[in-house]
Amino acid sequence: MTNSLVPPAGPQRVLALAQLANSVGDGAYYVTSALYFTHVVGLAPARVGLGLTVAWAVGSLVGVPLGRLADRRGARGTAVLLALATGLAVASFLAVRDFVPFLVAACAYASAQSGLAAARQALLAGLVSAGERTGLLAHLQSTLNAGLAVGAGLGGLALHAGTRAAYLGVFALDAVGFLLCAGLLARLPSVAPVTRTRRRDLGVLRDRPYALLTLLNTVLLLRMPLLSLGLPLWIAERTDAPTWLVSALFVLNTGAVMVFQVRMARGVTGRATATRAVRRSGWVMLAACAVFALSAGASPWVAVGALVVGAVLQVAAEMGQSAGSWQLSFDLAPADRVGEYQGFFGTGVTVARTLGPLVLTSLLLGWGTAGWLLLGGATLVASYAMGPATRRAAGREGDVRRAVPVN
């Protein structure tokens, strides 16, 4: 793996540029969309929350069939079409004036995003050798964070302006970003579609070991809403730390992933190293949760110190878990069903984002220190269970694991 933060020239660099093209717009969209829909469109916050929950639930359901479409019809063409569809869905938000159009547009956006993620993974698998995938995914994660950070800054300018035109400019920027993404993906070599000989095959839906792996990964992904929701509420409700620390911890996390994710993924080269990385991340996350818990009831600067140390441990756990799970998700997917399997594995992100806020607020604000330790303990158990789950998935070869038997 290269020491550079920039991936090698060729398909890897084009994939990174495509990631950057749409992540800048996404960063601006994420920090402005809630206020746009509530303050400009006039939707009630509860309705916005309901609409987004429904939309991402729909997106998680369609990720598998759209991933299967990428396998069967060609990953590059499917990815390009879904990038265009995502841009169109973002542009449709400009015309939203009521809840029902908002719900339709949000469902289209979440579905296209979920499908695009699966198609991109299938495209990556077809263009990059197995030994280079985890390294490239680390590059892409760093690129994603860089783009989101730049986009968040642009979104902050729109929030400062506070005008309808500024908000609409953000949505236009995001839509154009996906158009650029589609253009870049179209420059990549094509990946031949997979020819199927079986008529009836539920594929990943019958692959119980892989489903177990996805479930365990979903538990580990509960860390995702921690930075955006769990910690801000904890800081405001349970500590005497200043509220500006929320922004500082976000910058710390984003910057660390940008700089160190590639390095953290360097040692993950196979199933054994991947499961070890996930196990280590479980212990580090448990330590992070314990340190976060110490911030309650402490003096303001002691609380700040504990929260910063906890955030450093948390991002280290995040990078190790990400690298390990990327490797396992590809290694244990059949070569002819990467898009389908990645679409299914990606539902863990949606489930974590949907259920995570409820779980974290109940644990952390309701149970305090005990909640932190329970969260850390659950992460540790799930990280250790990934080893047996991986061995079980790897032990079921060929059609026994990958397909429904034909009677």
226, 373: one domain: yes
**How does the average pLDDT of the chain come out, rounded?**
87
| 55 contacts 180 by C-beta, under 8 angstroms | no
218, 79: one domain: no
- Examine residue 116 and state whether it is found in any structural domain, yes or no: yes
Which letter does DSSP use for residue 290 in this model?
H
pLDDT of 255: 86
Q: Which residue would you say has higher pLDDT here, 382 or 256?
A: 382
User: Per residue in 244-274, pLDDT tens?
Assistant: 888 788 788 888 888 898 888 888 888 999 9
pLDDT of 396: 62
Q: pTM for this one?
A: 0.78
> 283 Cβ partners below 8 Å, 6+ apart?
380, 383
pLDDT of 4: 55
Question: How far is the C-alpha of 392 from the C-alpha of 31, rounded, in Å?
Answer: 41
pLDDT of 304: 95
pLDDT of 196: 56
CB atoms within 10 A of CB 39: 12
Q: Which of 154, 186, 218 is the last residue of a domain?
A: 186
223, 150: one domain: no
User: Per residue in 26-37, pLDDT tens?
Assistant: 888 887 888 888
Paired tokens of 109: 């956006």
Q: Which of 131, 157, 186 is the last residue of a domain?
A: 186
User: Per residue in 330-344, pLDDT tens?
Assistant: 888 887 788 888 888
Say yes or no to pLDDT of 328 above 50.
yes
Residue 367 pLDDT grade (very low, low, confident, very high; cuts 50, 70, 90): very high
> Which residues constitute the domain of residue 381?
206-397
130, 219: one domain: no
| pLDDT average, residue stretch 38-59 | 85
| pLDDT average, residue stretch 98-118 | 93
- Examine residue 194 and state whether it is found in any structural domain, yes or no: no
Size (the chain), residues: 407
| 129 contacts 257 by C-beta, under 8 angstroms | no
Which letter does DSSP use for residue 296 in this model?
T
179, 221: one domain: no
173, 313: one domain: no
CA distances to 44, 158, 164, 273 from 39, rounded to whole Å, are: 9, 13, 9, 49
| 289 contacts 376 by C-beta, under 8 angstroms | yes
| pLDDT average, residue stretch 78-87 | 96
Paired tokens of 404: 């429904």
117, 228: one domain: no
Say yes or no to pLDDT of 130 above 50.
yes
- Examine residue 2 and state whether it is found in any structural domain, yes or no: no
pLDDT of 202: 53
- Examine residue 406 and state whether it is found in any structural domain, yes or no: no
pLDDT of 5: 60
- Examine residue 196 and state whether it is found in any structural domain, yes or no: no
**Residue 387: what residue type?**
G
340, 376: one domain: yes
271, 163: one domain: no
- Examine residue 4 and state whether it is found in any structural domain, yes or no: no
Q: Which has the minimum average pLDDT: 141-145, 167-171, 354-358?
A: 354-358
Say yes or no to pLDDT of 50 above 90.
no
Q: How much of the chain, in percent, has pLDDT values that exceed 70?
A: 93
Paired tokens of 2: 């290269």
User: Per residue in 205-254, pLDDT tens?
Assistant: 778 889 999 999 999 998 888 877 788 889 988 999 988 888 788 788 88
251, 128: one domain: no
- Examine residue 164 and state whether it is found in any structural domain, yes or no: yes
Q: Which residue would you say has higher pLDDT here, 305 or 146?
A: 305
What CATH number should be reported for the domain holding residue 325? 1.20.1250.20
- First-to-final CA distance of the chain: 46
pLDDT of 55: 87
Paired tokens of 75: 């990953």
pLDDT of 405: 36
User: Per residue in 273-303, pLDDT tens?
Assistant: 999 999 999 999 999 999 999 999 899 999 9
Say yes or no to pLDDT of 180 above 50.
yes
Residue 393 pLDDT grade (very low, low, confident, very high; cuts 50, 70, 90): confident
- Examine residue 6 and state whether it is found in any structural domain, yes or no: no
**Exposed/middle/buried for residue 100 (C-beta within 10 Å: 0-12, 13-18, 19+):** exposed
Q: Which of 186, 217, 242 is the last residue of a domain?
A: 186
133, 86: one domain: yes
Q: What is the DSSP string of 190-251?
A: P-PPPPP--SS--GGGG-HHHHHHHHHHHHHGGGHHIIIIIHHHHHHHH--S-TTHHHHHHH
CA distances to 5, 255, 330, 334, 386 from 273, rounded to whole Å, are: 22, 25, 14, 20, 12
Which letter does DSSP use for residue 407 in this model?
-
Q: Which residue would you say has higher pLDDT here, 306 or 52?
A: 306
pLDDT of 199: 41
Q: How many domains does the chain have?
A: 2
CA distances to 207, 212, 335 from 405, rounded to whole Å, are: 12, 20, 18
16, 78: one domain: yes
| pLDDT average, residue stretch 19-32 | 88
